[in-house]
Structure 1
Amino acid sequence: MAGTLITISSNSWLGMWMGLEINLLSIIPLMTDSNNPRASESSLKYFITQALASIIVLTSIMMMNTQTWMNNNLASIDTPDMLMVTSLLLKTGAAPFHFWFPEVVEGSTWINALILLTWQKIAPMMMLMYNKLPILMAMAIMASITVGSIMGLNQTSLRKILSFSSINHIGWMLAIVLFAEKIWILYFTTYLAMNSMLIWLFSLLKTSHLNQLLTNIQTNPSLKAFFMMNFLSLGGTPPFVGFLPKWLTIQSLVANQMYMMSFLLIIAALITLYYYLRIALSTMIFSAPLTSMINKMSNLKKKNLIMMNSFILTSLILYIATFSMI
């Protein structure tokens, strides 16, 4: 947390880089588990990828501050900025630099997966706000929404489904970073809340794959309904809270005459909504034996889960009331 706060509050590129390094060195021990070879492999992959991105960030900072580079007529002045944006896209896991991201999340525990899907994106996203290259960002947005929507169709692992969903949402967040930072904060906060609810449920049920989910959640109708509504909210279906940030994003893009990008974002959202619906409807329709993991949960955990889901899913009303007051 301190590394992320240093990055977003620093007024120099070197200070931001130091925050990124503190963040990296802090999360590696969290991901490493001597009893789980997959977790150790994931932490090594994450370290190598993030270290490479940090080297590129530091190289671009040195190029920006070297007077001889700026005076060289044979070199392009935009090259340091391009390197900086590329390295930050690599850190966030945006396409086409996404290949490491699903594999790292797949080998992580649920709490580490939540950190990778949410908190670890704050610092590089904030740095992208200060260094925008519209053409490169547009290419990353198109690649992210395409990869995130199509690659999630044939997945059975819940971690990989959330990973490709995250890549799709990265495309949406990169699109709104170009025009409205305040809407990005709203989008990220909503995305954090929805992911927290789903991962909390998966962690309590000790579920990692779709076939386990279909078995473990069947005997509690209220949790089945909340699970389905969470996926619909994650896909941006009204009247759930996930609809609001996507609505504001499309509104901002249309106001800035980005009609083609808005159209492609909507098409990608429909594709992701298809595999969200496939998962949600499967849990509602299919039956399973009465001995499931949900029966082993305490009543307190069930009540807390239902209360938090109810608050988050109905908070669209609170958001609309707040915006109308503003």
Structure 2
Amino acid sequence: MLNFYKLMFFMTMMSGTLITISSYSWFSMWMGLEINLLSIIPLMSDSKNLYPAESALKYFITQALASNILLFAILSSLNLSESLSMSHDYLTLILNSALLTKMGAAPFHAWFPEVMEGLNWNNSLIMLTWQKIAPMVLLFYNCYFSMFFLIIILLSTVISGIMGLNQTSLRKIMAYSSINHISWMLASMLNSQSIWMFYFLVYSIISINIVWIFKKMEIFTLNQLYFSLNSSKLMKLFFLINFLSLGGLPPFLGFFPKWLVINNLLQNNFYLMGTLLIIFTLITLFFYLRITFTSLMINFSENLCLKSPTFSLSMVFFNFFALSGLLFCTMMFST
């Protein structure tokens, strides 16, 4: 049963994000971010979380620091004359760094996996999807191709791949996967807002499917995953489809937004960025394939004593959409 305070703070959390993305002034955008922050802290302080106080405290300190830096950049820009172009560039750099810290992009990412480790799957899904919207929308106002954004995109791709290799916690794997997808979203928003929106929508659908499976089976580590997937062939099929789709393999829906991003980068002569994104994303794809192949072939067994999980109609529909989405998208966008 959903408590009233959870519903209230969840609604104010969403309203804070909506205030941020619909505001015309930087100060009201900052206010929306603060409403969003103060609303999610009570949701994180839940007894069902593994480390509720630790995760809430880490998240609050990091987000409060980023908000202070953001407010400093906003107030400094108000008192800045247009002739000081060098100072304006520095303030833009500070402003973008604060927003990147809020969304958890590398190298400002250290808080993100640690906070994710102490949360349950419901709160983890909020961190993976909804909490990324407001900082990314604010980045649109200052997002242009520069060496700073190129370094952020490459660091997010490389660090997420290397740090995700030796993880056994599913929540940390999802966190580093989110950092990898942040690099693709940053690359997509350099030229096209519609591609970013489509990428974020597809990533959210796939993340909902994967977190839904993990929550349904009550698993948090790889060992639990390998053991639990043997109880149901259909659940194993759903997991493999969504995890390979998260990696961006061609037969699945997750490949299509990456295809759009690469095509857009090449059309705008960003050949180096597109090539490096493809190469370094292979590191992330390696541990995706290692997890899926291990669960499919190496740790495969028939456990008839385990109770098979029940499936709802909505869960089957969402997974069917993730399976057949690439076919629908190619039919819609083909010319």
Same fold (TM over 0.5): yes
Q: Which residue of 2 aligns with 1:145?
A: 157
Aligned 8 A contact 1:34 1:40 in 2:
no
* 1:149 shift after superposition: 1.1
Q: Does 1:58 align with 2:68?
A: no
Q: Which residue of 2 aligns with 1:127?
A: 138
SS in 1 for 2:269: coil
Question: Structure 2 CA distance, aligned partners of 1:53 and 1:80?
Answer: 14
Deviating more after overlay: 136-145 vs 188-197: 136-145
* 1:41 shift after superposition: 0.5
**Using a 3 Å threshold, how does the CA distance of structure 1 residues 115 and 171 change in structure 2: closer, same or farther?**
same
Which amino acid in 2 is paired with 1:196?
I
SS in 1 for 2:126: helix
One of 311, 328, 335 as aligned partner of 1:318 = 328
Tell me the alpha carbon deviations over residues 109-162 of structure 1, each in whole angstroms, 9 at most, x when there is no partner.
101101101110000000000012522111110110011111111111000001
Question: Structure 1 CA distance, aligned partners of 2:50 and 2:239?
Answer: 31
Tell me the alpha carbon deviations over residues 60-117 of structure 1, each in whole angstroms, 9 at most, x when there is no partner.
1101111xx3378696221221111000000010000000000001111101101101
Q: Does 1:46 align with 2:59?
A: yes
Question: Structure 2 CA distance, aligned partners of 1:47 and 1:9?
Answer: 24
Question: Structure 1 CA distance, aligned partners of 2:113 and 2:59?
Answer: 11
State the superposition RMSD in angstroms: 1.8
Q: Which residue of 2 aligns with 1:104?
A: 115
What percentage of residue pairs aligned between the two structures are identical? 50
Q: Does 1:274 align with 2:286?
A: yes
Aligned 8 A contact 1:57 1:87 in 2:
yes
* 1:240 shift after superposition: 0.6
With normalisation by structure 2, the TM-score equals: 0.91
Question: Structure 1 CA distance, aligned partners of 2:291 and 2:85?
Answer: 54
Which amino acid in 1 is paired with 2:17?
T
Which amino acid in 1 is paired with 2:108?
F
* 1:190 shift after superposition: 0.3
Q: Which residue of 2 aligns with 1:17?
A: 30
With normalisation by structure 1, the TM-score equals: 0.93
Structure 1 moving runs of 4+ over 4 Å? 34-37, 71-75
One of 113, 132, 145 as aligned partner of 2:124 = 113
Aligned 8 A contact 1:223 1:306 in 2:
no
Q: Does 1:283 align with 2:291?
A: no
Deviating more after overlay: 11-20 vs 30-39: 30-39
Question: Structure 1 CA distance, aligned partners of 2:238 and 2:85?
Answer: 59
Unaligned runs of 5+ in 2: 1-13
One of 231, 236, 252 as aligned partner of 1:224 = 236
Tell me the alpha carbon deviations over residues 169-199 of structure 1, each in whole angstroms, 9 at most, x when there is no partner.
0001011111111000000000000000000
Q: Which residue of 1 aligns with 2:45?
A: 32
Question: Structure 2 CA distance, aligned partners of 1:163 and 1:183?
Answer: 22
Q: Does 1:88 align with 2:102?
A: no
Which amino acid in 1 is paired with 2:104?
G
One of 193, 196, 202 as aligned partner of 2:214 = 202
Aligned 8 A contact 1:39 1:109 in 2:
no
Tell me the alpha carbon deviations over residues 283-319 of structure 1, each in whole angstroms, 9 at most, x when there is no partner.
1111344333xx2533x43x54333211222111222
Deviating more after overlay: 69-78 vs 243-252: 69-78
**Using a 3 Å threshold, how does the CA distance of structure 1 residues 74 and 307 change in structure 2: closer, same or farther?**
closer
Which amino acid in 1 is paired with 2:250?
P
SS in 1 for 2:249: coil
**Using a 3 Å threshold, how does the CA distance of structure 1 residues 260 and 213 change in structure 2: closer, same or farther?**
same
